[in-house]
Structure 1
């Protein structure tokens, strides 16, 4: 990792460096106090700086915070300089880096790396009570990372608060459930309340081993409940794409891979959730190909530790050739940005193009197993059938500031057994991909319905 490499160099330059989780503490409007202990001829690092509103506008203002501390400089440099890596076949460019929108990302909270949490956040929903319940339960993840015998105390507090909000806001939560999904929503809400109360009783036994499994199940119920609050697809698809295969909602897929030459793994079964709310054209294209059995029997074609890629069919074409036209079927680059009514099509979110320096991507490249459409670097709208999965997760980069955010269309995440992706190699074979749930959300399918 670039950050680790530069930090190592910085530590050598300053003799000895101990890094801890609180290496930077927020100071003022933007800036940080470095709390690294650096042993050198100059003694401990004691830099403490903050910037006023006037300083922010001054040239090189942030440099004034960092220039006295080599370790601080190293962290900033590692986040701002381009990464170097091999290019994808169709083509994941790792030599360009999206600009970090502001220096305060160095001191922002931990990034969201869980695929299911990213999917919950990406729903077109604004229900404050249920989001508050969700936040209390998601906070448990960070609290369980602290090796402390009293770790269950904040967990118990979060569960009590989540239960309290759920009970106090039950009527408001129910009012958001779509009429057509009322029975399902009522059932989920009742189950959620019962599970929260049962969780509280279990926590009285002070058994920390139960916490994360119960948290996962409760958050799954919240995600299911939130989906019942979406009465209809939230926007109109642009006319030029309206007749294509579209996923007007979400779908869960199962992908089975035959693993070769690995004594530890013989086959891999992964679950993938595709998000048509934020990438209906891209996700619809993929589901349509899945139903054509396009990927069945196809090999994994790239695995380099950074991405896993497949989808290049035999022959000269680099994508799916539609039998109806004899031409490669392509999809436009499709990026949904927070606050926009519909995805942005055909253009990357470069600052010069759209003027969105603080754009928050709805489906960011933050989770291990993020799934996206590959394309030619020279043509934003050249995606077809080649897809890739990210084999990294963000440690320092906030949502929306990854290398590829706004430049490649994310349309789903591996939500179960994503760790198995690291075991797959070029030459392993996709036995099958099947839609488990959500096929009824696919409209305008182009495949011939199979009577199997």
Structure 2
């Protein structure tokens, strides 16, 4: 008899994220669709993470642990550095990553540990520049690493993190408040008050040596921090190029819940994945997806690719390889859209390699397990339509700007809850529904309202 527990509870039982670094053998097609060998994006399936009240039906109480060995790390390095080992191409170009000057020096790959937490990636991707709030954020995030240390030493390290965050909050509070957008100031101040109270509660938790209570409180505080940072964004930060301005655009952020019915899986029967979509850095890509979600385009669609490296979906039945707009009876495609650190707006229509930006840092990197991106034709940058995929791998020795995906495919969101369960999905599992749960008011030019 299957046991019913929340997805979050089940996730906490897992000792580590599910990773499957194995890739298809040489000569095999990588991320291709059944209709076209050149579309790797057509076969990935979306995964969603649920809110704390959404339940997953599970048959096992423990998740299988998967290790990422040194040998496998070396394989990842070799893929990123030379791509000369016959790795399967993402059918959409990543594997044709021949000589890249940015990858000539191995030190590029090991310059520092990459940020792998989707929540942290989303916080750092916000278009803000407020040092005071970042100085609160960083030590709170560092608690995760501190908790990896066993016993008393780990809690001692957590205590230092908490004291540093608390001190930064007290010293920088006025700078944080001054950085809030005027229209959002009241809400931001309210969140700061909750953050202050929560910080005191976390200090007491550490003083009581209640190790199990640290991580849940940390998550709560970082949600407050993220909320404050979002309240610092005043309007939309740039103008989308005129040729794309009439497309559905997500001018801000939105969140969706994706409910998946799992078939023939002893570990999982049903789960809801929560995905945060980032229109600040990918307004065209995220807007296109939200518009399709509102059209119920993905509801009832099967997972079309699940190979241990990615999960993909979005290839409709029939000859079309993307979304056919009923109002025009033509395929709707969107441009490749890549936002880079230091730039005020995204680059459109070209990969960073084609632009010569080999060492550029993308604002939405392929660092996290459950990174969500658009698939496209290998030889056509602006051919994405409806096929999306989720990466089933974290960056280890291949951080941002030193892997085979960043700058080649448009990332537009991250699975933030229940991402571990993505690895349990199989081809044929059904997306029962995807629903926008917040941020729909940030969608402009919604074509679904015109076409019905």
Q: TM-score, normalised by structure 2?
A: 0.80
Q: Do residues 150 (structure 1) and 153 (structure 2) align?
A: yes
Structure 2 partner of 1:437:
438
* One of 232, 235, 250 as aligned partner of 1:232: 235
| Equivalence for 1:54 | none
Match of 1:358 in 2: 359
Matched residues in 2 for 1:2 and 1:164: separation?
40
Shift of residue 111, structure 1, vs aligned partner: 1.0
Give deviations 1:241-265, integer Å, cap 9, x for gaps. 1111000000010000110111221
The alpha carbon displacement at 1:140 in A equals 1.3
Go from structure 1 to structure 2 and tell me whether the alpha carbon gap of 1:4 and 1:154 turns closer, same or farther (over 3 Å shift): farther
- The answer as to 2:182 corresponding to 1:164 is no
Q: Give the structure 1 partner of residue 92 of structure 2.
A: 91
**Aligned length in residues:** 383
Q: Which residue of the other structure, out of 308, 313, 318, is the alignment partner of 1:310?
A: 313
Residues in 2 aligned to 1:3 and 1:336: alpha-carbon distance in whole angstroms: 27
1:285 aligns with 2:288: yes
Equivalent residue number for residue 113 of structure 2: 110
- After TM superposition, give the deviation of residue 374 of structure 1 in Å: 0.3
In the alignment, is the contact (CA less than 8 A) between 2:254 and 2:439 conserved in 1?
yes
Q: Cα distance 1:78–1:412, how it changes in 2: closer, same or farther (>3 A)?
A: closer
In structure 1, what is the equivalent of residue 131 of structure 2?
A: 128
CA contact (8 A) 1:371 1:410 kept: yes
Q: Please list every run of 5 or more consecutive structure 1 residues that lacks an aligned counterpart in the other structure.
A: 6-71
User: What do residues 221-245 of structure 1 show as CA deviations (whole Å, max 9, x unaligned)?
Assistant: 1111100000110111111111110
Contact 1:364 1:402 (C-alpha < 8 Å) held by counterparts: no
The residue that corresponds to 1:69 in the other structure is none
CA distance in 1, matches of 2:291, 2:96: 32
RMSD of equivalent CA atoms: 2.5
Aligned to 2:263: 260
SS in 2 for 1:268: strand
Q: Which structure's relative contact order is higher, taking Cα pairs within 8 Å and 6+ residues apart?
A: 2
Note the residue ranges of structure 2 that are not aligned, 5 or more in a row.
1-18, 24-72
Residue 213 of structure 1 and its aligned partner are, at CA, apart by 1.5
Asked if residue 223 in structure 1 is aligned to residue 226 in structure 2, the reply is yes
**What residue is the counterpart of 2:182 in the other structure?**
179
2:191 equivalent among 170, 188, 191: 188
The 1:74–1:414 alpha-carbon spacing in structure 2 relative to 1, beyond 3 Å, is closer
CA distance in 1, matches of 2:138, 2:407: 26
Q: Quick check: 144-153 or 424-433, which moved more?
A: 144-153
Aligned position for 1:392: 393
Alignment partner, residue 414 of structure 1? 415
Residue aligned with 1:274, SS:
strand
For residues 13-32 of structure 1, what are the structure 2 equivalents within 5 Å?
none
1:274 aligns with 2:282: no
1:95 to partner: Cα distance: 5.0
* Structure with bigger gyration radius: 1
Is residue 2:299 matched to residue 1:299? Answer: no
Q: Cα distance, 1:402 vs. partner?
A: 1.9
Q: Distance in 1 between matches of 2:288 and 2:116?
A: 26
